[in-house]
Amino acid sequence: MNFFLSNKKKLLLLIIALYSTHSYLVAQEREVPKRTFLEDVRFGGSLGLNVNNGYFSGYIAPKAIYDFNSYASAGVGLLGSYNNTSRYSSYTTGGSLIGLLRPLNPLQLSAEFEEHYVSRNFELVGANKSDSYWYPGLFLGLGYVTGPVSIGVRYDVLHNDEKSIYANALMPFVTVYF
């Protein structure tokens, strides 16, 4: 009988040892690797081009977005544009601060503060006019996200018809992030 009990103890110790080893190995396999800062950063932006009879307009806005989690992101951007017609030309440069929220997939809420340096030249009959100034924009938007592309509409709550580089406070957008 002692022989049988000692085999039970040996068997129990063997089962405990195997279970402990298996649990340790499984725990080692499930460790989440640490991500670096740049692995959570997406790069992208927007491009625009309009060529018409005697008219040219180009726009470029590279952006970098840091994903805090699957719901919230923030980032910065640069922007520049050039417009030219027979009697008018302008260029703008600037930067932006961006905040994105995705409360429900695939909807995205956005807030973007832009600061533009604007330089405009008008060729008028009998006189020419030039002006340069800083102009802010605060855009609140709603978009639809599919993969790296977001499509939506945004509204500039600081829009000024005389100073804004945009013709309208409400405008569509397409942005791509990789």
Read off the pLDDT of residues 140-160 as tens digits, 9 standing for 90 and up.
Answer: 999 999 999 999 999 999 999
Q: How do residues 91-141 score in pLDDT, each as one tens digit?
A: 999 999 999 999 999 999 999 999 999 999 999 888 899 999 999 999 999
* Three-state SS sequence of the chain: CHHHHHHHHHHHHHHHHHHHHHHHHHHHHCCCCCCCHHHHEEEEEEEEEEEECCEEEEEEEEEEEEECCCCEEEEEEEEEEEEECCCEEEEEEEEEEEEEECCCCCEEEEEEEEEEEEEEEEEECCEEEEEEEEEEEEEEEEEEEECCEEEEEEEECCCCCCCCCCCCCEEEEEEEEC
Architecture label for domain 37-177: Beta Barrel (2.40)
| pLDDT > 70? residue 5 | no
Domain residue ranges of the chain, discontinuous segments joined by +: 1-31, 37-177
